[in-house]
Structure 1
Amino acid sequence: MKFVFSLLFAVVTYPVGVAAEQDPCRYLVAAGSCQPLQPLLVERIQQSSLLNQVFSDSEQYQLQILYTRIEKRINPNEPPKLHYYHYRLDPARYFYPASTVKLPLAALALQWLHEQNRPELTLATTMLTDSQRSPQTTAHTDETSESGLPSIGHYIKKILLVSDNDGSNRLYELLGQQYINQQLLAKGLNNTIINHRLSVPFTDDDNRYFNPVRFIDAEGRTLLALPERQIGESYSNPDQPKLGKAYYQRGELIQQPMDFTLKNRQSLIDFDGVVKRIVMPQLFAEQQRFNISESQRQFLLEHMRKLPRQSQYPAFPEAEYPDTYVKYFLKGDAQQRLPEYIHYHNKNGQAYGHVIDGAYVEDTKHGIAFFLTAILYTNANQILNDDTYETDTIGQPFLRELGTLLYQYELSQRQQAGHH
């Protein structure tokens, strides 16, 4: 009976195309209203060949969008009312979340720190990662930090400023799969699984072992030491998702879809929810929020907003890291700079042809703010790991046009409201 049920369940959870829109609204918090995005955009889409191309073939591009307008509050103490516009939202549909998983990892590392409840353990406390077995590596220095030493705070800065992989992996090793996934589930992030390091050659088994970690004070005395930890079984995707039609592995072309059962997962609604939990925790019941202090939350927001050129430690040359380097929804000026009055808080991701951004955009000059989260998959030949993706020609340009269009829509609504 169980087998039959799971088959039925699979059929029910994977509606394709329009059916995927059955009722995404039931997953969304504080909804003043919730409606399809298409009618809002339909005329504007026609004016852009790129938008038109992707929207008219949205199944191939696996496009999902969630745009959230924020109703102006008369009483600032009341929680905001949100107006949702959704497109092909389907929490059950798998896509590879790439670097977007670094945002919940950063928030959970702060939560872990907060829960230690030890004043001597701070964002700046030196964190030394040791190695217990191959292919684990140590991290005892960090030349990009002011002290020359690693710390939770410095790893988070690197993650949010330029999407640093090593910083994210070190937080994964600190927390371990069990803490990460149990906490995500407890917060209602039911379609998120984090079960591996990023961009390092670890097997599924290697990813079940978590390096020993030590926190030390300025004199080198150990404040806290965690031994190597391991879990018996990985958190895996029950639907055993597969992508593409073929993939390269160690230089060899494998003629079958690539299996993502033991890869990270984060639905668009969950990712959007992580951004909202950081920006507007009051939207969520207390047990669904990250258990972090207000100063930790402000630290996250500051670095989600900060541009690479505004950072001293770590420092990033602007020629290599323009304002739009990890911010995909807006176009910069000729120098790729964003205006000073745009506060763009986000986390992006890009891998296996997927291009993703989740953002809270605030324009302090014109008094507008909105959330936007989107993913599209650009892999025309359906071969993974061949480095032939359309992320630069279609993926990022599409997100920039989409974000710019919705920003202009916000401006036009603001102007209309001003005329009444």
Structure 2
Amino acid sequence: MKHLFLLILLVISGLNSTALAQNFDADNPLHQILQKHPQFFKRIMNSPDSFRVQIVYTQINRNKKNKASFREFSYRLNNQEYFYPASTVKMPIALLALEKINELAIPGLTMNSIMITDSASDAQDVVYNQPNTIDGAPTIANYIKQIFLVSDNDAFNRLYEFLGPDYIQQKLRAKGYPDAIIRHRLQVNKTLEQQLNTNPVKFYDSLGNLIYEQPAQASKGKFAATPFELGKGYMKGGKLVEFPFSFLNKNRIYLQDLHHILQSVIFPERTKKKSRFRLSEEDYAFVKKYMQIYPGASDSPSYDTSYYYDTYCKFLLQGSERKTLFPQVKIYNKVGDAYGFLLDVAYVVDEVNQVEFLLSAVISCNTDGIFNDDKYEYDSLGFPFMRDLGIAIYNSELMRKGKLPIIK
């Protein structure tokens, strides 16, 4: 009777009863929050398959010893429903770059060593400097800063080349993410073979002495195909091709995996040892700092804040708002947007009001089904959804009873 009564109420409020009967769980607080705010989520919940929405939400509770425990909930989580992960793949790559430095354990080799990217073919880029840093030096540390501050594609590409797709696949599989596939650079036009072949890299100390040299690598890994075709057409050479757009051989990582990777960074002590990244306390502090601060708070690299505004890479709770809506809230996250998909993977904490939670979401903003036409509804659909979802969860957390204080 309870479930029937709730469904009747939802129909009265104007929501589609068939969709909700399939997707609504009265015992799931995430579902309750969505149905409580039809003014924000009615359009999406009326036709959730069209927007390919997936959400993961983790409530965090602490005991008297400040030990965190987790309750995870989801909406439409479906590993068989492909979404393009865009820049969210930069998060595990940044973490693996630090892990590889630690594993190499070469005297003098650190995240701050000068990293020179050479080439083994005409298809590969050569990188000798990093213009927006104080000293112009390309380093693992500076690339990671750029990844989290402004989601820099070139920074990701350099770390991808340092790691190589085989190392990435091996490491993510060992950590419990066997279906994750990161096998290409971002925003560069290369063949699959060129994507799988990575550059030679050299590391130097501040005096110019060679510390470590890594030769060019050709991938020998076996990667699952991503035989997904979406939409009804795509633009190519200025012309419309009336055939679904293929994501064959694109990157893939599940939303829940991204959610758990972030959780392992924020709560390494509450993560199984095999699933943790091999990072030092200094590494964790460094990563979390640049996950959270705004571009304007960085002096090296430095950014034009008229373009890279404070909330440039903060979608949940903020959307496309340039003004920080919740100044007391800290958001540790990684966003992504490409091919009409908008994503954010975030840990949200408000120590003033004793609120903390993990929230990850993806939505497709391509209502006309045409790819590469630059007509994605990020501003009218995606950003408002991310803002309203984050605010709805945050407000719900403000009212949640029985929590103990966060002790930092």
TM-based fold match above 0.5: yes
Indicate whether 1:169 and 2:120 are aligned.
no
Q: Give the partner amino acid of 2:54.
A: Q
Give secondary structure in 1 for the equivalent of 2:49: coil
Residue 67 of structure 1, aligned match among 57, 62, 75: 57
Q: Is the 8 A contact 1:216 1:222 kept in 2?
A: yes
Task: Between 106-115 and 143-152, report the one with greater CA deviation.
Answer: 143-152
Pair 1:126 & 2:117 matched? no
Partner of 1:52: 42
Structure 1 residues 235 and 132 mapped into 2: Cα distance closer, same or farther (>3 Å)? same
Asked if the contact 1:35–1:84 (Cα under 8 Å) also holds between the matched residues in 2, the reply is: no
Query: RMSD in angstroms over aligned alpha carbons?
Result: 2.4
Cα deviation, residue 191, structure 1 = 3.0
- The reply to whether residue 148 of structure 1 matches residue 136 of structure 2 is yes
Q: CA deviation at 1:416?
A: 9.7
Partner of 2:346: 359
Alpha-carbon distance between aligned partners in 1 of 2:384 and 2:322, rounded to the nearest angstrom:
16
Q: Identify which of 34, 43, 51 aligns with 1:41.
A: 34
Question: In the superposition, relative to structure 1, how do residues 127 and 22 fare at CA in structure 2: closer, same or farther (>3 Å)?
Answer: farther
CA contact (8 A) 1:68 1:370 kept: yes
Tell me, yes or no, if the aligned pair for 2:319 and 2:385 is still in contact at 8 Å: no
Identical aligned pairs, as a percentage? Answer: 36
2:84 to 88, 96, 113: 96
Deviation at 1:170, TM superposition (A): 0.3
* Unmatched runs of 5 consecutive residues or more in structure 2: 1-18
* Aligned match of 2:6: none
1:80-138 residue CA offsets vs partner (Å, 9 max, x unmatched) = 22122210011232110000000000000010011011240111100000011122111
8 Å Cα contact 1:61-1:378 kept in structure 2? yes
Aligned residues of 2:35 and 2:41 also touching (Cα < 8 A)? no
Residue from 207, 210, 222 that aligns with 2:210 = 222
- In the TM superposition, residue 415 of structure 1 has moved relative to its aligned partner by 9.8
Structure 1 residues 268 and 333, CA, compared in 2 at 3 Å: closer, same or farther?
closer
- Give the TM-score, by structure 1 length: 0.87
In structure 2, the residue matched to 1:264 is: 251
Structure 1 position 369 matched with structure 2 position 375? no
Which residue in 2 is equivalent to 1:87? 75
> Structure 1 segments of 4 or more deviating over 6 A?
17-23, 415-418
User: Are the equivalent residues in 2 in contact too, given 1:65–1:86 (CA < 8 A)?
Assistant: yes
- How many equivalent pairs are there? 386
Q: Secondary structure at the match of 2:161?
A: helix
Distance 1:304 1:132, change over 3 A: same
Contact 2:166 2:220 in 1 (8 A): no
Q: Which one of 360, 366, 387 corresponds to residue 400 of structure 1?
A: 387
Query: What is the one-letter code of the residue matched to 2:59?
Result: R
Asked if the contact 2:341/2:365 (under 8 Å) is kept, the reply is yes
Q: 1:293 to 1:135 in 2, by over 3 A?
A: same
What displacement does 1:248 show? 2.0
Matched, 1:197 2:185: yes
1:193 aligned counterpart, secondary structure: coil
Structure 1 window deviating more from structure 2 (58-67 vs 323-332): it is 323-332
